[in-house]
């Protein structure tokens, strides 16, 4: 707590801090010491999840929380029926993030610290980034970095992702097929995220780039369900916790 706000004349109350805490790829023992300390000491805990589900971030910290913790589950609105290109999609999510921001900001103004659980790293394709942008100027925010899911994936593969001067490209499988094929052909090492229902499209793009025999699918990296499969042998993948890898083959001594 380092900022102050006055709630009535001559009475100053220190405002709380909102911590975006990176939990890493999924195993508690891959969290940082600082993340572990903040999670175990949190009186107010927030995390994202799909409606009706416990949420992966909350699952990671099971058994770590103090008995009097107050939890705030931020449930994503159902948007599967709306196209990403439809303006209603962004409008729906903007309203959701605004409501979450308001709740967290209110707690901070009351002097409460809040730990927001973030899978992987808070500043790498995470939902917390949308809160961070909105919280600017409203409350003190601190980021605790975490090991990314892609780092957990290439570690699980048992081989370095890059060598020497290799260029690493990170793509989303949601991109158009032609863009995927072009970028896959133009890089040395590759990570593709957000695969899910885009597997067939991604498989075609990798084949068009002539690299299908170099590609691996890693599911649930660093978790008990971890599985590594050559792309040519994969039939289906876990929708969310799947990453495609192509390892670089660059300069070596």
Task: List the domains of the chain with CATH numbers.
Answer: 3-147 (3.40.1010.10), 150-246 (3.30.950.10)
Q: Cβ(122)–Cβ(129) under 8 Å? A: yes
Give yes or no for residue 81 having a pLDDT over 70. no
| Average pLDDT score over the chain | 92
pLDDT tens sequence across 33-71: 999 999 999 999 999 999 889 999 999 999 999 999 999
Task: Tell me how far apart the alpha carbons of residues 230 and 36 are, in angstroms, rounded to a whole number.
Answer: 34
* Helices 128-135 & 87-109 angle (0-180, nearest 10): 60
Task: Tell me how far apart the alpha carbons of residues 145 and 2 are, in angstroms, rounded to a whole number.
Answer: 20
Structure confidence at residue 3 as a pLDDT band (50, 70, 90): low
Give yes or no for residue 1 having a pLDDT over 50. no
Task: Tell me how far apart the alpha carbons of residues 128 and 65 are, in angstroms, rounded to a whole number.
Answer: 20
Give yes or no for residue 160 having a pLDDT over 90. yes
pTM of the entire predicted model: 0.89
Buried/exposed code over 34-47 (b: 16+ C-beta within 10 A; e: otherwise):
ebbebbeebebbbb
Structure confidence at residue 87 as a pLDDT band (50, 70, 90): confident
Q: Cβ(17)–Cβ(113) under 8 Å? A: yes
Give yes or no for residue 6 having a pLDDT over 70. no
């Amino acid at each position: 707590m380092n900022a102050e706000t006055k709630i009535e004349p001559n009475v100053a109350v220190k405002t709380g801090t909102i911590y975006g805490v990176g939990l890493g790829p999924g195993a508690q023992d891959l969290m940082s010491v600082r993340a572990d300390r903040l999670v175990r000491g949190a009186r107010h805990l927030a995390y994202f999840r799909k409606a009706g589900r416990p949420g992966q971030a909350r699952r990671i910290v099971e058994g770590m929380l103090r008995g009097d913790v107050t939890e705030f589950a931020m449930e994503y609105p159902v948007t599967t029926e709306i196209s990403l290109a439809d303006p209603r999609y962004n409008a729906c999510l903007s309203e959701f993030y605004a409501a979450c921001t308001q709740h967290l900001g209110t707690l901070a103004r009351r002097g409460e610290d809040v730990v927001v659980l973030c899978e992987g790293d808070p500043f790498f394709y995470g939902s917390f980034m949308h809160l961070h942008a909105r919280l600017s100027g409203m409350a003190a925010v601190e980021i605790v970095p975490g090991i990314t899911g892609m780092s957990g994936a290439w570690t699980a593969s048992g081989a370095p992702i890059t060598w020497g001067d290799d260029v690493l490209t990170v793509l989303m499988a949601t991109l158009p097929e032609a863009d995927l094929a072009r970028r896959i052909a133009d890089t040395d090492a590759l990570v593709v995220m957000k695969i899910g229902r885009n597997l067939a499209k991604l498989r075609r793009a990798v084949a068009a780039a002539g690299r299908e025999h170099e590609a691996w699918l890693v599911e649930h990296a660093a978790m008990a369900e971890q599985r590594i499969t050559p792309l040519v042998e994969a039939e289906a993948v876990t929708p969310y916790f799947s990453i495609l890898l192509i390892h670089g083959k660059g300069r070596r001594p």
